[in-house]
Amino acid sequence: MLTREIAQAVVDAMRDDVGYSLNVMDHAGRIIASFDPTRIGSTHPGAIKVLESGEAVEVTADGPGVRRGINLPIVIGGERIGVVGITGDPDDVRPLARLVRTMVTLHIEREQTLHEESVERSRRVLLTERLATYTEAYPRLLIADAAEFGLVLTVPHVAVIVRGVPTATLSAVLGADPSVFSLLPAATGFLATDDDAAAPLLGRLIALGDDVRTAIGPSSLSVEESLRHAREASAAAAAIGLRRQIVAYREVDHLCAAATVEVPGRPRAIDALIQHPELLNTLRSLVRHDGNLAETAAELCIHRNTLTYRLDRITTLTGCDPHSVLGLLELVVDLVRAQTPIGAPQKGTPSR
C-alpha cells in the first residue's frame, strides 16, 4: 500500500534532485504527493489510464486535471501500486522519466522498509512492556504475538537484569545473540530459557568491565515473576554491597522474603545510619567478608581497633549488635528493605 506519508517523503527527498515538478498517484489515480500541494487529493485522468494499461501515458497539452508530462506505473513486487508523473514538455522530460520512475520506486521501497521496521519495533516494545507487567495466565493472542518474535511463552524462562552497561552497548550485544530475547526498553535485561542458555552471554557481558553487575531471576512461565525477582536480587545485592558480577535470586531469596515482612511499631534500625556513610560502608564490608573482622579492616584500610569502634557505634545508634548473628541479620534485612523494590508476590501469575 502506497501511503500519502511515504509518497510525500519520496517527493520531498527528490525535490532538490529533479528540475521538474513531480506527482505521485495512488492505486486509484489520486494525487497523494506533489511539488504543488494544491493538486493533492485530485484525480489524475492520465494516472487512471496508466493503472489500467500498465504502460506509460504521455500528456501533450494541459487540460482539466492534467498538465503536460509523462506518467509511468510504479510496480513493486509485480503489482501496480501507483503512478509517478513528471510535469513538462514530453520531448524534454522523456529522457529523464524512466530514471525518475526508478528513483521513485527505490525511494518507496526504502520508505516502506523503514516503515515496516518501525512498526515491528513498536510491536516489540509493546510486547515487552506488556510481558514485564502481565500477571495473569497468557491468552492465546499474546502467546502468538510473542512467537512472531521467536519467544515461546509456553516454556519457562529466566530473566536477567544488567547494570553497569550502557543501553546502546547492551542492545548491540543482545542483538547479536539469537538464543536470548531482549527486554529493552521495558527492562535493562533479557530472557533465556535457563541459566545454561544465559551463561555465554553473561560471560561476554561481565567481560566488558568490573563494574558490570547481573542478576538472574528464577525459572518461571511468567516473565513478570522472573523479572520482578531478578530486580529484587539485583537491588538486594547492591543494598548489602555484594561485589559479585553474577547474583542469582535463589542466593538472596531469603533476604528478599524477609524484607517484605513489616513488624508493626518497629522502627527501621538502619535509618539511624543514613547520616553516617562510613558506618554503612563498614557494615556492607562486614557482610561481604562474612563477619570476618580482619578481612573487613584490611578492605577498609583501617586498624582493627577502629573497626571495633565503628561496630560499637553502629550498636549504639541502631540498637542492633553487628557482632551477633541476630543483630547482623536484622541490619542486613533492613539494608535490603531500605533500598530494594521488594513487594508481595503478585496474584494470578502463571504457574511454574
Q: Is the pLDDT of residue 164 over 50?
A: yes
Exposure of 42 by Cβ count < 10 A (0-12 exposed, 13-18 middle, 19+ buried)? middle
User: Is residue 27 situated within a structural domain?
Assistant: yes
Q: Considering 92, 120, 148, which residue would you say is the last residue of a domain?
A: 120
pLDDT at 194: 92
Q: Considering 57, 85, 120, which residue would you say is the last residue of a domain?
A: 120
User: Is residue 125 situated within a structural domain?
Assistant: no
Reported residue count of the chain is 352
At 13, is the secondary structure helix, strand, or coil? helix
Statement to judge: residues 180 and 324 lie in one domain:
yes
pTM of the model: 0.66
User: Is residue 130 situated within a structural domain?
Assistant: no
Q: 324 — alpha (psi -120 to 50), left (phi > 0) or beta?
A: beta
Instruction: Encode burial over 113-124: b for 16+ CB neighbours within 10 A, e otherwise.
Output: eeeeeeeeeeeb
SS3 content of the chain, % helix, strand, coil (to 5): 50, 15, 35
Q: Using one digit for the tens of pLDDT, what is the confidence trace for 67-126?
A: 899 999 999 888 999 999 998 899 988 888 888 888 888 888 888 888 888 888 899 999
At 212, is the secondary structure helix, strand, or coil? coil
Residues 6+ apart with CB under 8 A from 253: 218, 229, 233
User: Is residue 334 situated within a structural domain?
Assistant: yes
Type of residue at 202: L
Statement to judge: residues 263 and 146 lie in one domain:
yes
Statement to judge: residues 165 and 94 lie in one domain:
no
Statement to judge: residues 11 and 104 lie in one domain:
yes
Statement to judge: residues 114 and 216 lie in one domain:
no
Statement to judge: residues 220 and 76 lie in one domain:
no
pLDDT at 347: 40
Statement to judge: residues 220 and 309 lie in one domain:
yes
User: Is residue 349 situated within a structural domain?
Assistant: no
**E strand residue ranges, the chain:** 22-25, 31-34, 57-59, 69-76, 79-87, 158-163, 181-182, 189-192, 213-216, 246-248
pLDDT at 341: 54
User: Is residue 129 situated within a structural domain?
Assistant: no
Confidence of residue 348 (pLDDT cuts 50, 70, 90): very low
For residue 12, the domain's CATH number is 3.30.450.40
Q: Considering 120, 148, 181, which residue would you say is the last residue of a domain?
A: 120
Q: Is the pLDDT of residue 352 over 50?
A: no
Statement to judge: residues 217 and 144 lie in one domain:
yes
pLDDT at 344: 41
Statement to judge: residues 153 and 269 lie in one domain:
yes
Average confidence score pLDDT of the chain: 88
Q: Name the more confident of 242 and 144.
A: 144
At 225, is the secondary structure helix, strand, or coil? helix
pLDDT at 340: 58
Statement to judge: residues 109 and 177 lie in one domain:
no
How many separate domains does the chain show? Answer: 2
Statement to judge: residues 185 and 321 lie in one domain:
yes
Q: Is the pLDDT of residue 159 over 80?
A: yes
Q: Using one digit for the tens of pLDDT, what is the confidence trace for 61-73?
A: 888 777 899 999 9
Q: Is the pLDDT of residue 141 over 60?
A: yes
Residue holding cell 513528471?
A: 86
Statement to judge: residues 53 and 167 lie in one domain:
no
Q: Give mean pLDDT, residues 241-259.
A: 88
Domain carrying residue 83 = 4-120
User: Is residue 206 situated within a structural domain?
Assistant: yes
pLDDT at 260: 79
Question: What are the cell numbers at 151?
Answer: 519467544
Q: Name the more confident of 257 and 310.
A: 310
Question: What are the cell numbers at 255?
Answer: 533476604
Q: Using one digit for the tens of pLDDT, what is the confidence trace for 221-240?
A: 999 999 999 999 998 888 88
User: Is residue 289 situated within a structural domain?
Assistant: yes
